[in-house]
Amino acid sequence: MFIAIVGGLFVGLLMGALGGGGAILAIPLLTFGLGLPVHDAAVASLVIVGLGALSGVFTHARYKHVWFQEGILFGVFGIGGAFLGTLMAKGIDSALLLSLFSILLVVVAGTMIRKALKPSTKPPTLNRLFTRIDGKLVINFRGVIYLVITATIVGLLTGFFGVGGGFAIVPALMLVFGLPMPVAVGTSLLVIFLNSVTAFILHGEAAMHLDWVVVSVFTLLAMSGSLVGGKLAHHIPKKVLQLSFASLLIVISIYTAIQSVPQLLS
């Protein structure tokens, strides 16, 4: 239970501050720390991360850092990818799934380090999907196309690994729409909630086997941590948070690989 309490708080803090990363930590904690089978851990992480993200949305919305239209559409278009990813995950061995997950962690860590160290050369240009000019609705069709493609890929990751996808959503929102980091974080949490709900429904049959006492404790602490993390995000430099988080991902990746690769090769 100690792992559920401390892990829940830490997962929530990271989600609230960075707009993602909750499931990347929750799955190893649930699997290796609490002994849940990997597929059960993936389903439990969807509950923990989904409600933790929803908690963070309320905090970031108070600062007007959530783009609801773009976030909802991103989540809706990710449903197809989540469904495909879920089907793929069911046919793959647990050791192979965790091995692939460890590789994903390294890729994400490298991306975060590169973005954190890359200096910003120009202020972001905000490109909303829907705007009104002289009373007429103007649609950013190019942005819609990019959103559909990106949301599908993120949905695939969500369904396949049981992750919220925030590590991919935040960079995507900054690149496609030119969102500043705080708005990308807040909007990412909205997308994570929608993606997690979709993937949980698709994994619904596994929910009956979960230890709901542990999952509930983990979830409540994650929700509390997300509220605090959302407030801290406005006071701690993003570069410090990103580099620290990236280093933690590498450590978790190594630990996950040590646990899963020998099983895969045996």
**28 by DSSP, 3-state: which?**
helix
| pLDDT level of residue 136 (50, 70, 90 thresholds) | confident
Which pair of tokens denotes residue 65?
Answer: 């850092």
Residue whose entry in the numeric block shows the structure tokens 């709901």: 212
Instruction: List the beta bridge partners of residue 132.
Output: 137
- Structure tokens belonging to residue 184: 């990308």
Query: Shortest CA distance to 230 belongs to which of 68, 79, 63, 91?
Result: 63
Calpha distance 48→28 (Å, rounded): 13
Q: Which amino acid is at 183?
A: V
CB 82 within 8 A of CB 152: no
- Give yes or no for a contact between 22 and 12, defined as CB atoms under 8 angstroms apart: yes
pLDDT value of residue 125: 52
Query: How confident is the model at residue 163, as a pLDDT?
Result: 64
Looking at the structure of the chain, the number of domains it has is 1
Q: Which domain holds residue 182?
A: 2-265
Q: How many residues does this entry show for the chain?
A: 266
Whole-number pLDDT of residue 200: 83
Distance, in Å, from the CA atom of 246 to the CA atom of 175, rounded to the nearest integer, reads 20
Q: What is the pLDDT of residues 172-230, one digit of tens each?
A: 787 677 777 788 889 999 998 988 887 788 776 777 778 888 889 899 999 999 998 88
Report pTM.
0.78
| Token pair belonging to 52 | 């933790």
Q: Which amino acid is at 165?
A: G
* Pick from 148, 12, 128: nearest CA to 66: 128
